[in-house]
Amino acid sequence: MPRKECNVSLLAHTPEALSLIYAAFRQCYHAGWVADMWPRLLAGEIEKGKQAEFVRNVLASGHDSPIEHVSFTFAVEGVSRALTHQLVRHRIASYSQQSQRYVDGSDFDYILPPQIERIPEAKERFERFIAEVGSAYRDLKDILERAGRKGAKANEDARFVLPQAAESKIVVTMNCRSLLHFFELRCCMRAQWEIRGMAQRMLELCREALPVIFEGAGAKCERLSYCPESPKFSCGRYPTREG
């Protein structure tokens, strides 16, 4: 049962993302039909730089709903069930998660929190517990199978002993507007360390693929230049609005 580290891969995003966002914004202010403009956009008759500048200017006005037309899909591995329970609370998104019912957990991988790893005594107790869980899972699965519950039927009951540290894999799709909100919350220093690390990896991939939308993305304080939390909850990185 090896420990795992977070790994994020960008599987796909909406093709011609910048041009699509540009067209959607233009339709809001354009008397004509952007479908007539679309072949020109694809042919490069309107330079990407000009498209990006137009999009930045409109976004600066606070108008951002057209960016919902572009979505990104990520494959994530090496994350805990504790993380995915937080992740799926972002509801404007689609998820496809590895099933503990259909995937045998006899030798499940796990996530080791850094603060536990730093303390030898805590690490030893944590890893001993993980080994105990693995043994219990295998014993229960064997007992259930001998009692006639085979395959997924045994897994679905034996999985009840698996901890939140159990590693999971998940496919996530969000549109750009949802991603910006996700990054504001989960890149914050007050976010839980594991989901913050995953969010930072996702943000790096988004910035590379579509910088006009994500170049200024991140924790809310980075956009506002102050912390929106009260002084009691601020990490101290930026002054609070009250301060």
Structural domain count, the chain: 2
Mark whether 108 and 158 lie in a shared domain: yes
Cα separation, 10 vs 77, in Å, equals: 12
Chain segment 111-170, per-residue pLDDT in tens: 999 999 999 999 999 999 999 999 999 999 999 999 999 999 999 999 999 999 999 999
Mark whether 62 and 35 lie in a shared domain: yes
Cα separation, 194 vs 183, in Å, equals: 14
- Torsion angle defined by CA atoms of residues 223, 229, 232 and 233, in that order, rounded to the nearest 10 degrees: -80
Cα separation, 3 vs 83, in Å, equals: 15
Q: Using the 8-state DSSP alphabet, how is residue 94 labeled?
A: E
Mark whether 12 and 39 lie in a shared domain: yes
Whether 186 is catalytic: yes
Mark whether 67 and 177 lie in a shared domain: yes
The model's pTM is: 0.95
Q: Which of 81, 186, 190, 207 is catalytic?
A: 186
Which of the four pLDDT bands, split at 50, 70 and 90, describes residue 3? confident
Is residue 82 domain-resident? no
Q: What is the average pLDDT value for the chain, to the nearest integer?
A: 96
The residue range of the domain holding 130 is 101-165
- pLDDT at site 236: 86
